[in-house]
Amino acid sequence: MISSSKPISVAVFASGRGSNLEAILTNIGQGKLDARIMVVISNLSSAGALEIARQHKIPAIHLSQKQFPTEAEFTETMLTTLKSFQIELIVLAGYLKKMPIKIIQTYKHRIINIHPALLPSFGGAGLYGHYVHEAVLSYGCKVSGATVHLVDEEYDSGAPILQKCVPVLSDDTPEILAARVLQVEHEILPRAIQLFAEHRIIVQNRQVRINESKSNNTSAT
Ligand code: GRF
């Protein structure tokens, strides 16, 4: 699966424990993912994801709006950091802050997010973590799942890249359902990154098309 070309340079943003980061690193270690995580950035200094990065000798940066007098300075620092690592793809893996508009514009179609539900259901502001699973259960859904999608200016509104379902079982709690969904997050997030590494992602209007075969060109438009 791995090509001889240079691995795609990835920045991972995370606010939490970092199990998706760990899944990406595992896939890289197993030779299934042609990527290199150049930097991990978190808005929380206590995020487990930063600790995982340090253990893997990956630069781990605590970067929060609160450290800056203005949003513009915060955004500039983020941009400079991303450029210094020559980032090609930004992966939001449990990052609970909105990306600044300037970053979204600079990395158009090169920022992806993992969401623990089947978008466009159960997404948007306030629907994160256990709130998502609680909402799925109280609605009475029979399936849930995970979505990897492009990031645009709104929460959870960019085009889906990959989605995978899981069943909702009658005695599920939010914790049990979250664990089942997390397993598929760990499958589809690395797979989506590999699609970028193989230049197979094509964006047309608001839809993501996946090329059957690998290309040597950057194909996101
Ligand atoms: C995941 O469920 C992800 O979908 C959501 O936040 C959680 C992050 O988990 N956006 P982890 O930090 O990767 O373990």
pLDDT digits (tens, 9 = 90+) for 25-76: 999 999 999 999 999 999 999 999 999 999 999 999 999 999 999 999 999 9
Q: Does 186 qualify as catalytic in the annotation?
A: no
pLDDT of residue 52: 98
pLDDT, position 221: 45
Among candidate residues 56, 62, 109, 115, the one labeled active-site is 115
CA distance 195 to 2: 11
Are residues 180 and 166 in contact, defined by beta-carbon separation less than 8 angstroms? yes
CA distance 5 to 170: 47
- Write down the pLDDT at residue 216: 64
pLDDT of residue 25: 98
Please give the distance, rounded to the nearest whole angstrom, from the Cα atom of residue 109 to the centre of ligand 1. 21
Ranges under pLDDT 70 in the chain: 1-4, 216-221
Q: Which of 52, 114, 176, 187 best tests ligand 1's pocket when mutated (most atoms within 8 Å of CB)?
A: 114
Euclidean distance between CA atoms 176 and 1, whole angstroms? 33
Computed from CA positions of residues 32, 180, 94, 205, in that sequence, does the dihedral angle turn out positive or negative? positive
| 133 close to ligand 1 (CB < 6 Angstrom) | no
The whole-model pTM stands at: 0.94
pLDDT value at residue 219: 44
CA of 215 from ligand 1 middle (Å) equals: 30
Atom of ligand 1 nearest to the CA of 21: 13
* Ligand 1 midpoint to CA 187 (Å): 13
